[in-house]
Amino acid sequence: MLRTTKVAKAGGPEDGELSMSAQHHLASGDQSHRDLDARERVLNSAIIAADISRGWEEYLEILDAFYAEDVELTTDAETGAVRGRERIRTLLFNFLAPLHVMVEIGGLSIQIRESPIHGDAADETHSAWSVDLIGVSGRRCKLAWRTLRRWADSRVVYERHYDHQQTGGPLTGDDLSLNQSLATLGYGRPS
């Protein structure tokens, strides 16, 4: 949120009026905040539009397009920060590859939602995320968290995931059709 303070100077605008330079500063501040909000919306829309059933490559492309080379990622669930886009790429791949298999072969359905949260720092954005994992059995596991991002120009330079919540237990093999799919491929049959 942009806060303004009116300051009257001797020989300046009358009390209650803003000088032209103050008006220009506020307008450019508003414009940069709108630009930041637009970049955040584009990034979040790209994440939501990416389809894990097609593979994980879209997510890695998003990482390359929106995140700085030396980005720092922290979470309240981990003790240390992860620095650098390449290290984050490895973590992301290790998470997304099995998820892709569970969607493609196991019948897992995924619903992703995001909603912006109002923040008060000029270079930060905040959002609330939730992911519903729905097994073929109908059983659900909902994960929710909040994200804070700091931007420099058009790139995310810092991202923090916090306030993690889980509703419902983890999905098991009974909630996915992996056993049937593996049997179709010839795995799990006695020889």
Per-10-residue mean pLDDT, the chain, length 191: 32 44 43 81 96 93 97 87 96 92 91 92 93 93 96 94 93 79 51 45
The model's pTM = 0.74
Please state whether beta strands 67-75 and 155-167 pair in parallel, antiparallel, or not at all (unpaired): parallel
Residues in the chain: 191
Residue 12's Cα: distance from chain center in Å?
46
Token digits for 71?
Answer: 């980005």
pLDDT for the residue 180 = 56
Query: So what's the pLDDT on residue 2?
Result: 31
Q: Which residue has the tokens 């359905």?
A: 109
